Amino acid sequence: MRLLISILLGLAILAGAFFLSKKLKDSKQPPRARRDQTVNTVYVAPAQNMDLPIMIETNGTIKAQERIELYSEVQGVLLPGKRAFKPGQRYQKGEQLLQMDSKEFYSSLVAQRSNLYNSIVSIMPDLKFDLPESFDQWQAYLNEFDIQKTLKELPEPLNEKEKYFINSRQIVSTYFTIKNLEERLVKYKITAPFSGILTEALVDPGTLIRTGQKLGSLINPAVFELEANINADYLEYLKIGKRVTINDLSGEHTWNGFVKRVNGIIDPATQTVQAFIQLSGAGLTEGMFLEASVTAQTEPNVMEIDRSLLTSDNSVFVVRNDSVLKKESVTVVSVSDRKAMIRGVENGALMLNRALPGAYDGMIVQISNPE
């Protein structure tokens, strides 16, 4: 009996707990959602349309317009010069850059001149008896002949007989062989083709220079070129001689240039065309990274805004009724890296002048600068 009473009492307690928990669950009400009262603060500026020029902006590094890679066309030991052949050394046009030992070659050249002299001397008796009218000009040539100096041009034959006679004695072929050697002798000495500065030096005095070996690089630091990639849409504005304004990255220095050349091919991958802008002035150095601006044309009734204010669907946000954001479509006239030129916002409309993350049409905002 005691066991039965305990079992029934336990079942009664369990049933009561079940019904009590169900009653409490049914009486519980879900909490009311609290409305977010946060209002974003925005900065605005009244729209002001005007006539503005479209600026084609680009950038790139500058390179010297005049530059030359120095190579040796002959072989020889490099001799010490008056000035060290080192990077940064400046040279004037026509000044000697390098000289190689040419004594052996020069001796061979003198021997060839001597052979030519002997050949001409050997024909003089025949000329005197067979071609007396040609004797005097060849005698005058011998009188001025100097094996230590560059050959003068051979006398012109007075008739066909003289021409055949001279060629039969190998005089003309020997003459041109010597002239070729004289041209080669000049290549043992390299002079500056223009006034400039040495940017690379790869050899030192005493080095054996071989034919075809690179010796260094020379540039003219007075005139530079900026290679710019311009959008193909602006190709019609890239006229030869078009004035260009160039600035450094800090904006502290400005140079004037002009369009020197325009490539005739559009890059199919980037849809850009190469334009080469010539510039000169103090403070320019090869390798500098500069920004260039070219005035294309003037557009009426437009305004310039920060590119971050333009949405992906070519719209901008305007504040209406002092508290509601309104998304308005505009016409994009031109776009650069930082700025966008648009048309379609009426004058005086309060337009955002700072981007607002998460902005949407109809958003409630508070103007920070109502004045």
Residues in the chain: 371
What pLDDT, on the 0 to 100 scale, is given for residue 27?
A: 65
Look at residue 35 in the predicted model and tell me its pLDDT.
Answer: 47
Strand 289-306 and strand 315-320: the pairing is: unpaired
Contact 70, 216 (CB under 8 A): yes
Q: Mark the ranges of the chain whose per-residue pLDDT is less than 70.
A: 25-37, 369-371
Q: Residues near 218 by Cβ (< 8 Å), separated by ≥ 6?
A: 67, 68, 70, 91, 97, 192, 193, 194, 196, 197, 198, 199
Determine the pLDDT at residue 33: 47
End-to-end CA distance of the chain: 92
Q: For the segment 112-149, what is each residue's pLDDT rounded down to a tens digit?
A: 999 999 999 999 999 888 889 999 999 999 999 999 99
Q: What is the pLDDT of residues 284-323, one digit of tens each?
A: 999 999 999 888 778 889 998 998 888 888 999 999 888 8
